[in-house]
Amino acid sequence: MDLSSFALLIAAGLIGGACNAVAGGGTFFTFPALLAVGVPPIVANATSAISIWPGHATSLLGYRKELARHAGRLKSSAPAFVIGAVIGAALLAVTGNGVFRQLIPWLLLVATLLFAIGPTLRTWISTNRSGTLPKPVIFLIDLVVAIYGGYFGAGLGILLMAVLTLIGLSDVNEANAVKNALATIVSTFAVAVFIATGIIAWGPGAAVLAGAIVGGYLGARFARWINPKILRGIIIAVGLGLTWFYF
C-alpha cells in the first residue's frame, strides 16, 4: 500500500468516524475509499465493518443507565439479531465479487434513501403506530433488519431507530442507547464471521480504523458546533453521488 492510498484511507476513516459521532453515515466514506485503493468489493465491505465496529462498542459506555432500564428488551431481541447478523455476514462471504459489485449501487441507493428519510420515517411511525405488535412479528422484523446489517450495514442505525419507534420506544435518548446496543450485537457477530472466513484486509482496515478513532473523538468533542442538518445534507449528497458513480 503506497503513501497516497494510506492517506486516503486515514482521511476516509477520519471523516467517517466524525460523521458517525454526529449524524451517522460513516460507511459512505470508508467503503468507497477501500474500493478506490483496490480492495475487492466483498473484502472492502467486511473491512469497513470491522473498522467502524469499535465506535459502536465504545458508545455503550455512555449509555449504561439507559441500557439497564431496557435490559429486558435487549435480552428478548438478542437472539433475532445474533441469528440475523450471522446469516447476513455468511451471505456476504459466499456472494461472488462480481455479483456484489452489481449490487453496490443498489445497496448504496437504499442506504442513502434510508438515511435521507430516517427522521420523517420515525415521525410517521410514531404518529401512526397503533397497538402492540405480536412477538413473532417483532422477531421477524428484527431478523430482517439484522440480516441487512450483517450483509451491508449502511443505514442500519436508521432501520433500528424505526423499529424501536414501531414497538413504542419514543424517547430519543433511550432509543439511541438501545439502537447502539443492537448495532453492536450485529456488528460483533458479523465481524466474527468475516474474520472466520478470512475476508478482512487487515492493512487497509488498520488505516481506516486509526482515522475513525481520531474522527470519532473529534466529532464527539465538536458536535455542539456542527449543524447536524447541514452534515446530513452533505452525507446524502455524497451517497447520491456515489450511487450515480457506481451505477
Q: Are 198 and 161 in contact (CB under 8 A)?
A: no
Does residue 22 have a pLDDT over 70?
no
Q: How confident is the model at residue 17 (pLDDT cuts 50, 70, 90)?
A: confident
- Average pLDDT for residues 103-119, to the nearest whole number? 84
Residue 84: per-residue pLDDT: 96
Return the axis-axis angle of helices 135-151 and 172-196, rounded to nearest 10°: 50
231-242 average pLDDT score: 82
Q: What is the pLDDT of residue 140?
A: 92
Instruction: Give per-residue pLDDT as tens, 157-213.
Output: 778 878 887 777 767 677 777 888 888 899 899 999 999 999 999 999 999 999 988
The predicted structure's pLDDT at residue 176 = 75
Q: How many CB atoms lie within 10 A of CB 216?
A: 25
Task: Using the predicted structure, report yes or no on whether residue 129 has a pLDDT greater than 90.
Answer: no
- pLDDT exceeds 80 at position 146: yes
Average pLDDT over residues 1-24: 84
The separation between CA 64 and the C-alpha centre of its own chain, rounded to angstroms, equals 21
pTM of the model: 0.83
| pLDDT tens per residue across span 62-82 | 677 878 888 888 888 899 999
The sign of the dihedral angle between the CA atoms of 130, 133, 134, 136 is: positive
Q: How far apart are CA 113 and CA 120, in angstroms?
A: 11
Give the pLDDT score at 224. 64
Instruction: Give the per-residue pLDDT at 229.
Output: 77
pLDDT of residue 66: 79
C-alpha cell at 117: 428519510
- Assign 131 a pLDDT band (cuts: 50, 70, 90): low
What CA–CA distance (Å, rounded) separates 18 from 39?
23
